[in-house]
A = this chain, B = another copy of it.
Amino acid sequence: MIGPVALNLSIEVVPFAIRAERLEVLLTRRPTGWRLPGGPLEGVENLDAAARRHLTDQTGFGGAYLEQLYTFGRPEAAGGLAVTVAYYALVSCGALAVDPAADGRARMEWSSLAALPDLLQDHAGIAALAHRRLASKLAYSTIALQLMPERFTLTELQAVNETILGEILDKRNFRKRILALDCIEATGETARRGGHRPAQLYRAKRPGQVDFIK
């Protein structure tokens, strides 16, 4: 059944990853310009499933952590109403390493959140809202782990937090806090990277799961 107004429902996803110590957003190129991955529903599907489908089809990062952000309604020039259900996705550095063979996919490109190109509609605003949500969730959840590879050092985890928050953290206090959360464990292995003391490698105790703290 269709309501009295023409509805255009779309799903948009803000895919985040940490690249080169910066928080970046993955954009796709369409004939009309850059936009967030997303698009209309196809058939009868769960909204979460639709978000994941768009992400997978358009970027290949189907394993990302996905969370609903907000729903917007926007009158269209043609007289209908565009309803956008926005999600954000966290792509782990691990998934980034393997280039998701972009066969037949729209062209895509990571862009620094601080310097997005002109985007379709209000996609820039959606990305900014997603960033605020992500930053505030750092304070009361273990969501940052979703951006990490399977094994990571504490210094790397700290750097991810610093990048998202835009401020530097105290090394000793950060480590004490994270370890007290009981959300990661040492693997026993070390990472020998460069001319300096190797770092312990840690892994998430409950990978894929975001715990709330306090």
A interface residues with partner B (beta carbon < 8 Å): 1-9, 40-48, 50, 68, 70-73, 75-76, 78-81, 83, 85
Instruction: Give the residue of B1, B6, B78, B85 whose beta carbon is less than 8 angstroms from that of A80.
Output: B1
Cβ contacts A to B, 6 pairs, < 8 Å:
A2-B6, A9-B83, A46-B73, A47-B72, A68-B70, A71-B85
**Do A4 and B43 touch across chains, with their CB atoms under 8 A apart?**
yes
Q: Quick one: copies of this chain in the complex?
A: 2
A42 to B73, CA, bound (A): 13
Q: Would you give the shortest CB distance from A11 to chain B, in whole angstroms?
A: 10
A40 touching B6, Cβ below 8 Å: no
> Hey, which chain B residues are within 8 Å of A47, CB to CB?
71-73, 83
Q: Name the one of B9, B68, B75, B79 contacting A7, with C-beta atoms under 8 angstroms.
A: B9
A95 to chain B, nearest CB (A): 26
Whether A41 lies near B3 (C-beta < 8 A) is yes
B7 near A81: Cβ-Cβ < 8 Å: no
CB of A71 within 8 A of CB of B73, answer no
A68 CA to B133 CA, complexed, in Å = 15
3 nearest A-B pairs in the assembled complex, by CB-CB distance:
A47-B73, A71-B71, A44-B75
A70 to B69, CA, bound (A): 8
Smallest distance from the beta carbon of A68 to chain B beta carbons, Å?
7
Enumerate chain B residues within 8 angstroms of A48, measured Cβ to Cβ: 73
Contacts of A43 in B (CB 8 A): 4-5
Q: Which chain B residue lies CB-closest to A40?
A: B3
Complex CA–CA separation, A44 to B76 (angstroms): 9
The answer on a CB contact under 8 Å between B73 and A5 is no
Residues of B within 8 A of A46 (CB): 73
Distance A45 CA – B5 CA, assembled complex (angstroms): 10
